[in-house]
Amino acid sequence: MAEEKKIKGRIEIDIDDEGLLAVFHFIPGDSGSEYDSAAVNRLIAEKQISFGIKKDELKRKLESLFAAPSEMTITIAEGDPPENTEAAEYNWVETVIPEKHKADVERFVQNAPPPEIFRTEVEKISKEKIVKKKGRFSFGKEKEDKISEIVKREKKIPVEIIPDVIEAGWVESGAKIADVKAGRAGKAGKDVKGKPIQPGVPDDEMWPGRGVENKGNSLIATESGILRRGWNWVETLPFKAHDWSLELSKDKNTCFLNFNPGGAESSTPDPAEILGRAQMLGCSEENLVSGDRLNEIINTSVETGKVLSQAVISTDDDAFFEIKISEDKLKAEMVMHKGRGTGKPLVLKQAGAAIKTSGLKSLDLKKIQEIILEFYKGPETDITFLLCEGEGAEDGKAGDIVYDLEFLKASTADEIKKRAADIDGDYLAAIESAADYPPAEASFLAFVREEQQLAAIPVTEGKKGSDVYGKEIQSTAADLSAFKSLENVKIAEGKLVSETRGLLERFDHDGLTAFRIRPHQDSEFRVKIAPDRMSALLSAEPAVGTGAPPSLEEANRVIEAAEIINGLNVEAVRTVVDKCREGVSVINEEIAAGKAPVNSGDAELKFLIDLAGGQAVTIDDKGRANYRKQKKLTSVNEGDRIAESKVVQGESEDGRDVLGVLIPAKKGEPVNIEIGSNVKEERAEDGTIYIVAEKAGRLLYENNRIEIQENLFIKGDVDFNTGNVKFGGDVNVKGNVRSGFFVMAGGNIAIGMNSEMSLLSAEKTIMVAQGIKGGGKAILRAKDSIQLSFAERATLLAVNNISVKNAIFGCKVKCNGRLKLVSEKGYLVGGRIQAREGVEAANIGSISGTRTEVSFGQDYLISDRIETEEREINKLKARLVKVEPEMRLLEREGKNRELSVLRTEKVKLMKILEKRGMRVFALKERFEQHFPGEVLIRGEVFPGVVFESHGRTLEITQNEKSLRIIFNQETGMIEKVPVSNSVESDKEE
């Protein structure tokens, strides 16, 4: 076994003052002692070094030392230094000394002893304890063992403080003194002997003293009194002040003082402060005792030490009540006044008895009692409240206005208002109401035509009333003062009607709605090409009012659209535009002239319109004969140039019309024209004579005589002898209109007998003396009304009313007025009826249960527009579906030009689709608008009849008599009302 190595010299083991570092120091020398490794370890153990020993490093360095002894210093162990506590931050709450206690507090603080502040330290002490344990067997002896346990013991240690007071204030028990932002807690360390090293405490640590405790993140006062604070301490000193409070009587009209005398160090309260506090409770100064009297009361309590409870400090006043009736006897009120102090109190039973014996009607005694009790318990001294009200006579009322037009979009309206701001002042000066109602302030705008119904104002009759004693009061008529008609608008019988064409302006000012129509029209260009295409005329209407002004670009666009390419006079176009800009209407100004063929020495008559040739048949492009479309009638409009006559001299020469088509020259023959009725001559500067229509109607040209017949009379039937009839004025047919033919009139249509499977279309009214035998193909459409005796399997369309004397069988009816079956034979059987204002009939349906659909209360002409728009949308979508594969094919084939065209088409289709979609959305919103309407059945309605309005339906399941069918806007349901009940109800109203 190898001999253990030793070293010889002096060994010193040092521990620094903080106990955080232990160092081994060896100085070799022959005079020193010998040490082996065990001896070295004993020296370390004797120094009680047990923590932070670097064992591996120590072993390695000692091995190095024993291997080659030399002077060496080795770190044996390093302790763990403590982390010092960081002081908390305090945000002190301002503790203002009440003014009433300020002098007392200052005096008390000056005489108070210095503070004594202690901190509590917890010690852990090991304590022995004897514990008895049972033996292994039940009969064995108990065994006593000694065990050690750690117990905690609190120790109060005085804190060194700076006694100077830096702040004093007043604090109530439970009040917050400061918000505490906790500092970082210290962490104990360990020295090399394993003993703990406590963290250092900061010099500015705040120590709470008497009456102060730390709760969570706050310092809280545990006593009421004086708060004083030094640099590193805070405490509360008890201080007993005189304590007083005020309270009010149950009726809140008498003030009581509660006073508890305090200590000798407290000054008596100021009477002015107490009286001021009473005023804050609602007591007026004149209703309180004087300050001197209050001082006597307080001093007596202080001197005797007697506590005051509810001492009266209000003056005396007697209570009273009175019932007041208004002059119109529509209101009864109770006036009540509370008593005060020792005055006469308000006795509620007496007030209640007076109300009950007053003779007033419709009293809500429970509510009155609640009001009186609330007043009695409340702070008010006086009250005037409503006992009951009579029911005033209700004047006739105007309901919500219902508009029959569509207002312009905001963007369009803003553009028109902007033009109004820039317009010549003379235009607005001519409008009398413009100063009070400037165009810029209009809420809504709309374009209207003359005699158009703009809106309806539903009016209800007045209602009788009664006074507070139940006596009847008469009513007055309805007040329409909320609606004001300005220029060109009239209000009559609850309807707003336009008196002229123009722009409707609606103004909403302070509850008043005013309406005005002022002149407005966009400038307009129209091109008319003569029937022989030898001239082109340009007409221009200037902008009226705030209409869009004329422009040369717009005029050229219209001319280009008419395909005029020859003989265009650019200066003439510019002249028309300039005149129009100056406000002049230009009618048929020639802007292009063809070069007529020159027929030397001949006079000629040239018709400027297409003349009917009298043919009883027309041949179409495919050679098919049409005997219904005949050319027996020439129709003209007022102001039309019918023909021209002029003498041509010189050599013959070919001409060319304004569309660029060549016209060969030919010789003409002299013509003598006789001017008949409703025709006149106009002579031009170049000698040309124009024959002009003075009235619209039928042109007759026979034996060189030209005249115009205003009305068209057909003595017999409309059949193969007459062909179809299309005429600009009124048409009167004495006989029948046979199947397959049509009659179209710019005015009225009157049929003396029947109309079969035919089309009747009139700009005004249609009257059929007998009836319609439609066979499922007849159509009647009128922009006004329709009157007939009966109708079978036909379609009837009218903007206004439809009146039928007898029955309607299996028809499709649509009107924006009312369908009325006049006689007691007025049966409505089968078909589908859509009438905005409803239907009146003797009987609806049949015993056999024929399905009959009746819709009312909506604008059904709008639904036609919705269907039309949706059909167009479907066409656009179908085209879009085809465009996509076409584009892909062109892209694969590299045909970029054709692809570009399709892309442009796609973008255009999508824009149109979006626009039409918006239009459908707007139309559907308008279609949901409700219009007053009902179905009145004078006789009987049968099963199979279905009534509809706004998507709600009501189906008749059993025979019923004398009904009125209405749409209840409040419930959104269709309801049946017996005619007798509804009549009685109307009478009551």
pLDDT tens digit sequence for 146-174: 777 777 788 888 888 888 888 888 888 89
Paired with 398 in beta bridges are 459
**Side chain identity, residue 507:** F
Which residues make Cβ contacts (< 8 Å) with residue 43, sequence separation at least 6? Answer: 11, 13, 35
Tell me what percent of the chain is helix, strand and coil, each rounded to the nearest 5.
20, 40, 40
Residue 834 — very low, low, confident or very high, per pLDDT cuts 50/70/90?
A: very high
352-385, pLDDT tens digit by residue? 898 988 888 888 889 999 998 988 888 888 899 9
Positive or negative, the CA dihedral 939, 944, 948, 954 is: positive
Percent of the chain at pLDDT exceeding 70: 92
The answer to whether residue 188 scores a pLDDT higher than 60 is: yes
Quickly state the pLDDT bin for 625 (edges 50, 70, 90).
very low
Residue 863: partners with Cβ closer than 8 Å, 6 or more residues away = 834, 927
CA distance 309 to 247: 10
Does the pLDDT of residue 599 top 70, yes or no? no
Indicate the pLDDT class of residue 840, thresholds 50, 70 and 90. very high
Pairing of strands 218-221, 212-215: antiparallel
- State the pLDDT confidence band at 987, using cuts at 50, 70 and 90: very low
Instruction: Look at 466-470, 480-484, 723-727 and tell me which has the smallest mean pLDDT.
Output: 480-484
Over 50: is that where the pLDDT of 72 sits?
yes
Q: Closest Cα partner for 926 from 832, 816, 849? A: 816
Which residue is it, tokens 């009847």? 472
Looking at residue 815, what is its pLDDT? 94
Determine the pLDDT at residue 959. Answer: 92
- Residue 629: the pLDDT is 59
Contacts for 824 with CB less than 8 Å, ≥ 6 apart: 842, 938, 939
Between 243 and 785, the more confident residue is 785
Amino acid at 652: S
Say what the pLDDT of residue 600 is: 54
Stretch 489-495: mean pLDDT: 85
pLDDT band at 898 (very low <50, low <70, confident <90, very high): confident
* The pLDDT of residue 602 is above 70: no
Instruction: Give the pLDDT confidence score for residue 141 in this predicted structure.
Output: 65
Say yes or no to pLDDT of 907 above 90: no
Q: Rounded distance, CA 177 to CA 214, Å?
A: 10
Residue 218: both structure tokens together: 């706050």
Element (H, E) at 714: strand 712-714
Two tokens, residue 449: 């035509």
CB 277 within 8 A of CB 257: no
Two tokens, residue 833 = 């009826």
* Residue 240 clears pLDDT 80, i.e. is over it: no
Higher pLDDT pick, 104 / 651: 104
Here the tokens at position 372 are 């009186």
Residue 619 pLDDT exceeds 60: no
How confident is the prediction for the chain on average, in pLDDT? 84
Largest CA distance in the chain: 171
Q: Find the radius of gyration of the CA atoms of the chain.
A: 56
Mean per-residue pLDDT, 899-910: 83
| Average pLDDT value for residue range 733-742 | 93
Query: Taking the mean position of all CA atoms in its chain, how far away is CA 198?
Result: 70
Q: What local confidence, expressed as pLDDT, does residue 623 receive?
A: 44
Name, of 27-41, 396-410, 944-958, the range with top average pLDDT. Answer: 944-958
Structure tokens at 1: 């076994």
Per residue in 425-477, pLDDT (tens digit) is 666 777 888 888 888 888 899 988 888 898 888 888 778 889 888 898 887 77
Residue 806's identity, in one-letter code, is N
How far apart are alpha carbons 989 and 986 in whole angstroms? 5
> For residue 1, what pLDDT band results from cuts at 50, 70 and 90?
very low
Mean pLDDT of 935-945: 94
Q: Alpha-carbon distance 98 to 171, whole Å?
A: 10
pLDDT of residue 613 exceeding 70: no
Indicate left, alpha or beta for 493 from its phi (over 0: left) and psi (-120 to 50: alpha). left
Task: Give residue 384's pLDDT.
Answer: 92
Which segments within 29-79 are labelled E, that is strand?
33-35, 72-78
pLDDT at 579 over 50: yes
